[in-house]
Amino acid sequence: MSGQGSILDIQGPIVVAQLPNARTGEQVKLGKLGLMGEVIAREDARAIVQVYENTEGLRPGEPATALGEPLSVELGPGILGGIFDGLQRPLETMLKETGERIERGLVIPAIDSAKKWPFVPQEELKVGARIGGGAILGTVQENETITHRILVPPEVAGELIDLAPAGDYTVDEAIGRVRDRQGHIHKLHLSSRWPVRMPRPFSKRDHAVQPLITGQRIMDTFFPLLKGGKGAIPGPFGAGKTVLQQQIARWSDAQIVIYVGCGERGNELTEVLDTFPKLSDPRSGRPLMERTLLVANTSNMPVVAREVSVYVGMTIAEYFRDQGYDVVMVADSTSRWAEALREVAGRLGQLPVEEGYPAYLGSTLAAFYERAGRVETLSGGHGSVTLIGAVSPPGGDFSEPVTSHTKDIIQTFWALSKDLADARHYPSVDWLESFSLFVDTAARWWHENVSEDWLQLRNKSLRLLTEAEELNRIVNLVGVEALSSQQRWTLESARLVREGLLQQSALEPKDSFCSPEKQYLLLSLMIDIYNRGAEMLRLGMSVQELLRLPLLAKARRWKIAYASDELEGLKQEARDIVPLFDALRAEYASPTAKKPQEQEAGQ
Amino acid sequence: MSMLEYSSAAWARGGLLAMRSVPEAALGDRVVVRDHTGRSRSGQVIRTSADLVLVQIFEGTDNLDLERTWVRFLDKPFELALAPEVLGRVFNGVGQPRDGRPPIVARLSRNVNGASINPAARAYPREFIQTGISTIDGMNTLVRGQKLPVFSGSGLPHNRLAAQIVRQAKLLHAGKAESHGDFALVFAAMGVSHSDARFFEESFEESGVLGQVATFINLADDPPIERLILPRVALTCAEYLAFDLDMHVLVVMTDMTYYAEALREIATGKGDVPARKGFPGYLYSDLAEIYERAGRIRGKAGSITLIPVVSMPSDDITHPVPDLTGYITEGQIVLSRELAAANVQPPVAVLPSLSRLMKDGIGEGMTREDHARVASQLFASYAKAQEVRSLAAIIGAEELSEEDNRYLQFAEAFENRFVSQGEREDRSIFQTLDLAWEVLSLLPKEALTRLSEKDLDARYRQAAAE
């Protein structure tokens, strides 16, 4: 049903229109320009509409039309590898049709309706079968990486009275029909629509069990996130949020990656568009773009569409989850989305609570993050949506509303530090501020798949880093000479862990992605060096001598010397340490060994 | 164009004029206001309804007599007249000449708000611009199409730095500088003093680029509301030069903090809900609309490189204007009061400075093969040297270890030889990198873990030994 009315008042992205019978959430088309918007409130016969596009040129008195449907996305083959704006309009198509500037009032379907897709019906499925929402009708090989599973829309159930044979179909051609209990016939297509603000249904929530392997040591080894978990990356500008998010989008072992650029830089999306088709998945060897979908609402694009873009991304993520895939959705940055909420709330004159944000900020964020998770799908399989949100706290202050609310909701918190970034320690994840609630679950996976002592080594290295932090405080007060030899060694070993393990350059070809095996080998090597050094100190070797070992400088370069498929070299390094320390031990354990006191006095 | 004039002003304050019963004024429409003296002012509709239309007046609302104010709605958005002859001219914030010469004859006119560039249409910036300044070229490389602000404070030489960049910026082709022919400069000044404005003018004149500059100027004693439209007008001009005339345009905007303060003034007048420090919640989006107009477009020869100057009130980098700017721009060059006091010129604080687009504009074929690692090593070593310095401040330099002492020497040399350079010194990227090796060679080889063995074999001490 659609209603006609007229525009009464225009203020920035908020338009008031005379629109009796319009429902909140309903789409509205405004003015001669045909701008799209959405009803966010009703007052008597007036609808308050937030407009997704710039309202310049709109006049009071122009027509307003309620379209009867909430904002929905189109879901079907052909969306992977694409770049869409916050309303799921394909930006590449827009570029071809209207040029390099985004025109207003454009309606372009997300999926090319002329393209035919090779549909293969599910073999066991016979006409006459009873099927429910979410059941798999068949498949379309969308590209070499991804098999698109065609699902019965969640709201449809009944008897399958028709199923198309294998063949090529467009997304609009019917590939089957279902008769429901009431006798209504529903046509089924390769594509379907779903309203973005409504979470897609599933059978039940399930435990997350597997770590998401991102190839980033500070994440996988130190602060793991599970497939189906919720993580946040807060950090001031210049701390490296975007690089880290892009690293996750590149290397994580999810099957589908949805990257939502929400209110961020245009050039960053261009970089993704430029580089992803050239990069290949370390596991499948196929171009990364085949499993990636971009939603782009850059900072200069209209603010209301920014608010919508995260929901568009999430709905697409859920759609692939329902096909049984592990999906990672990266939202950069959720703060811009929250600011869009604030802007609309402010224009509506809603009472601000903290820093101008409306009272519902916390609940809105929570409800959104809760759409992540590992689930049992309607068709009985398993799928997950892992949500990673970047947060951009003003002034780098983590106590601001968006960061603090997000921190309450998520399970893994990768806090980026300006100080580390300034010292070019990347990724600038602060190991003292960050946390993961998933360490024990992740440990089970590491123990089964990599090594039994993973958790022990991880905890030991974290302890080393924490101790070093304490010692640093002492050093800053009284100088390094006040420390004992063991303490100095702790300090130096922590430096080794920082430089040889935690620091990982996205630009280093051999280290941009680090396999779990390499992560473990490096971790165990660093701890091994620490243990052996500590032993040598007990035997009387001086810390100065220990620090002069060329091994320490070499160990810092191992990460860039051996790629994840050259681990034999790293294992050889591990073997070479043994004779080195054996020789040292022999020297110091012998009765003629020099006394450490003399040594240090001689310095 | 409508010839009707309305005199139904309801109220006027703080740059805003409210009009009653003006039928169907469109949002964003340009408005001409004639006051009782006959002087006309220009404005723009910022809110419109059947009962009340709110107009923002760029010349301000001082001395408006409500009963004797006549308003004409031009029935079109705010547009700027454009022609190649904008180069060499000086305009005010709304694009009218302020150099005493006649208005330009327009080839075309464009809406100053522009339309967003489709992200899929952008070309990724990767062409190295040599500014001749070591801290920028070596460690925070600028590329064509980048937006790289200068964060500064009152009394710091940001204007001198900006002028030096303008004088020296060139593109290298196989190590050689490119000609000036397709280069243009757009200079946008908001709230600057007369003396600063003159400094820039003289600097352009001296470097012989005056004929290639389009200047848009709003001085400190001009109406502040005009600052709201000025950057949009200037960037519309830049877009015309870059994407219609295929020129490489460098836009210098100073000072964005004054722009934001004007925005706050109007927002407060409208009763917008404040977010931080009284600035409206939409400051981020508003700044982004300006900054994101920089860039390159696929299939177009020209480019817009943007250098906004942002002064940090009380040197506070977390102040909303530098903070939000940093989130939008592709890095920042931060000036340091300490270095300025130590007479290091330009006083660039390299550690908080950053160029996000550096990584794709440097290296073999663009600058030099070892560039990225050298930069990374400089950052790491200087960061370490700063730690040593703070330690030395507590326990005294004589208590430091030998290695720590070398870090102190390195820091001194780095600041006095690498960072510091004359306003007239134009260093090639190769000179910059050689200088970097010279200062790095003050440190023991083992401390240089970000350089490869090969780099060290080839270049370590080479320079120092000379």
Q: CA-based angle B122:B124:B129, to the nearest 5?
A: 125
Residue A286 CA to chain centroid, in angstroms? 20
pLDDT interval class at A594 (50, 70, 90): low
Distance from CA of A167 to the nearest CA of B (A): 33
pLDDT on residue B176: 58
Yes or no, beta carbons of B391 and A476 under 8 Å apart: yes
Six-digit token string for A535: 């032993």
Q: Is A103 on the interface with B (CB under 8 A)?
A: yes
pLDDT on residue A200: 97
Main-chain phi, psi angles of A580, to 5 degrees: -60, -50
Yes or no, beta carbons of A61 and B24 under 8 Å apart: yes
Q: What are the beta bridge partners of residue A413?
A: A232, A435
Same structural domain, B257 and B325: yes
Domain boundary, last residue among B57, B76, B95: B76
Q: Is A32 on the interface with B (CB under 8 A)?
A: no
Q: Mind listing the domains of chain A with CATH numbers?
A: 3-70 (2.40.30.20), 112-190 (2.40.50.100), 204-438 (3.40.50.300), 454-601 (1.10.1140.10)
Please report which residue ranges of B101-219 form alpha helices under DSSP H: 134, 158-168, 194-206
> How far apart are alpha carbons B175 and B430 in whole angstroms?
9
> How far apart are alpha carbons A70 and B431 in whole angstroms?
61
Q: What is the ipTM of this complex?
A: 0.90
pLDDT on residue A598: 45
Domain interval for residue B206: 81-361
Q: Nearest to residue A473, comparing CAs of A432, A529, A509?
A: A432
pLDDT on residue A321: 97
Residue B366 within any structural domain of the chain: no
Give the three-state DSSP class for B154: coil
pLDDT on residue A65: 96
Mean pLDDT within A298-319: 94
pLDDT on residue B175: 53
Domains in chain B, number = 3
Residue from the list B113, B119, B357 with its beta carbon closest to the beta carbon of A266: B119
> CA of B325: which chain A residue's CA is closest?
A237
Least confident of A506-515, A541-550, B390-399: B390-399
Mean pLDDT within A369-392: 96
Rg (CA), chain A: 28
Distance from CA of A221 to the nearest CA of B (A): 23
Mean pLDDT for chain A overall:
92
Is the link from the previous residue into A427 a cis peptide, with omega within 30 of 0? yes
Residue B201 within any structural domain of the chain: yes
Which CATH number do you get for residue B310?
3.40.50.12240
Distance from CA of A253 to the nearest CA of B (A): 26
Q: b or e along A161-196 (b: 16 or more beta carbons within 10 Å of the residue's beta carbon)?
A: eebbeeeebbbebebbbbeeeeeeebebbbbbebbb
Task: Inform me whether the pLDDT recorded for A63 exceeds 50.
Answer: yes
Same structural domain, B166 and B69: no
Chain A CB contacts of B323 under 8 Å are 236-237, 394-395
Same structural domain, B24 and B110: no
Q: Is A488 on the interface with B (CB under 8 A)?
A: no
Same structural domain, B285 and B209: yes
Q: Is B393 on the interface with A (CB under 8 A)?
A: no
Residue B265 is inside which H or E element, if any? helix B256-270
Least confident of A182-196, A337-351, A398-412, B139-153: A337-351
Yes or no, beta carbons of B281 and A83 under 8 Å apart: no
Same structural domain, B345 and B415: no
* Residue found under tokens 């309305």: B6
Residue from the list A10, A265, A356 with its beta carbon closest to the beta carbon of B47: A10
Task: Inform me whether the pLDDT recorded for A479 exceeds 80.
Answer: no
Residue B183 within any structural domain of the chain: yes
CB-CB contact of B151 with B333 (8 Å): yes
Same structural domain, B251 and B350: yes
Least confident of A80-89, A404-413, B265-274: B265-274
pLDDT on residue B466: 43
Domain boundary, last residue among B76, B92, B107: B76
Same structural domain, B50 and B150: no
CB-CB contact of B265 with B60 (8 Å): no
Chain B CB contacts of A99 under 8 Å are 118, 121
Q: What are the beta bridge partners of residue A30?
A: A35, A64
Model confidence pTM above 0.90: yes
**3-state class percentages of chain A: helix first, strand second, coil last, to nearest 5:** 35, 25, 40
Same structural domain, B112 and B62: no
Weakly modelled stretches of chain B, pLDDT under 50: 1, 463-466
Q: Calculate the alpha carbon distances from A172 to A112, A113, A133, A187, A479 in Å.
A: 10, 7, 19, 10, 74
pLDDT digits (tens, 9 = 90+) for A88-147: 999 999 999 989 999 998 889 999 999 999 999 999 899 999 999 999 999 999 998 899
pLDDT on residue B414: 97
Residue B314 within any structural domain of the chain: yes
pLDDT on residue B395: 79
Distance from CA of B287 to the nearest CA of A (A): 8
Chain A interface disruption, residue of B21, B27, B300, B445, most A CBs within 10 A: B27
Q: What are the beta bridge partners of residue B111?
A: B79
Which CATH number do you get for residue B35?
2.40.30.20
Percentage of residues in chain A having pLDDT higher than 90: 81
pLDDT on residue A423: 87
Chain A CB contacts of B285 under 8 Å are 263, 299-300, 303, 339, 343
CB-CB contact of A271 with A83 (8 Å): no
pLDDT on residue A349: 83
Residue from the list A56, A61, A423 with its beta carbon closest to the beta carbon of B113: A56
Same structural domain, B148 and B102: yes
Chain B interface disruption, residue of A106, A270, A298, most B CBs within 10 A: A270
Same structural domain, B381 and B283: no
CA torsion angle B350 B351 B354 B360 (round to 10)? 90
pLDDT on residue B150: 97
CB-CB contact of A21 with A75 (8 Å): no
Yes or no, beta carbons of A8 and B49 under 8 Å apart: yes
pLDDT on residue B394: 80
Residue B208 within any structural domain of the chain: yes
Chain A CB contacts of B320 under 8 Å are 394
pLDDT on residue A601: 42
pLDDT on residue B461: 78
Same structural domain, B140 and B172: yes
Task: Inform me whether the pLDDT recorded for A392 exceeds 90.
Answer: yes
Task: Inform me whether the pLDDT recorded for A388 exceeds 80.
Answer: yes
Domain boundary, last residue among B361, B394, B429: B361
Task: Inform me whether the pLDDT recorded for A356 exceeds 70.
Answer: yes
Residue B421 within any structural domain of the chain: yes
* Residue found under tokens 């820039």: B200
Same structural domain, B394 and B431: yes
> How far apart are alpha carbons B359 and B129 in whole angstroms?
13
